[in-house]
Amino acid sequence: MATSPLTAASAPVAARGRRRRVAAFVALTKPRIIELLLVTTVPVMFLAERGVPSLWLVLATLVGGILSAGAANTFNSVYDRDIDRLMHRTSSRPMVTGEVTVTEAMVFGGVLTVASTVWFALVVNVLSAVLSVLAIALYAVGYTVLLKRRTSQNIVWGGVAGCMPTLIGWSAVTGTVGWPALVLFLVIFFWTPPHYWPLSMAFREDYATAEVPMLPVERGPVAVGRQVVAYSWVMVATSLALVPVASMGWVYTVTAVVAGALFVAEAHRLLAAARRGLTGTALKPMRLFHYSITYVTLVFLAVAVDPLLHLALR
């Protein structure tokens, strides 16, 4: 039977519509944030194994991590849809544009939560499943609902959820949570404020408009700069604590020292610019934000490579 011209013409339109719907649901999960979380998961697995872990286990942990982080970010997107509408940086998100309804998003987030938990429990181990659920709860409830709109220290304590992949990666290999994993947990904990506050400085007006009390909204550039510097020093010191705790070699040690020194130098540059009276884009806060991503990538890459080569310090 012949296909009518109208039906044939509508097929590409329908296909594009389906692709847009899929893209909208993917956007709810905030893939760029997930990428950063996975960067801190896999290297810890190499360290826990003291070599190359089972590739199937790595893949299984990544799948579970993607589902778990996607669930947390979806719930965050639902709850924050009102303030996302007010901020230029987030005004095109699917919950704002109406491409996805609240009910659809909640169901999607619920399905991802169940899927990630069951996947971790059956394919990886129960401890990883428990840590995954805890991470979702910390981000979706602890940070998004309880902290984000109530305190300028929101990202400090809310950032605990972003530290969980270090524990999940270690537990996936060992079935426990060891001291090296806890040290790396703290590295991410102290890294989060000097990573996120420069971004908040760059988009200060957005957060002020939405009445979100990020530290750069509540305090001036000099006060923020001081805290960025303080957290940067503590972060670097914590990263070096991994050397004796996990018997790290030259590869990790040199990387942590050099990458950390650059991070601290950039933090001090930001503070110095603030003390000169510079504000807004003149501070160039995004320089530190972008470098912070490079920093965590380099340090955790060294975490993975060091046990493979292990050029001992002595």
pLDDT, tens only, 70-95: 999 999 999 999 999 999 889 899 99
Taking residues 224-246, report their average pLDDT.
98
Sole residue written with tokens 């929101």: 154
Whether this prediction's pTM lies above 0.95 is answered by no
* Nearest 10 degrees: Cα torsion 107, 109, 113, 114: 20
Please give the pLDDT value at position 62.
95
CA–CA distance from 30 to each of 24, 70, 73, 263 (Å)? 10, 7, 6, 26
Taking residues 203-225, report their average pLDDT.
94
State phi, psi for 189 to the nearest 5 degrees: -60, -45
Percent of the chain exceeding pLDDT 70 equals 95
pLDDT interval class at 10 (50, 70, 90): low
Please give the pLDDT value at position 263.
98
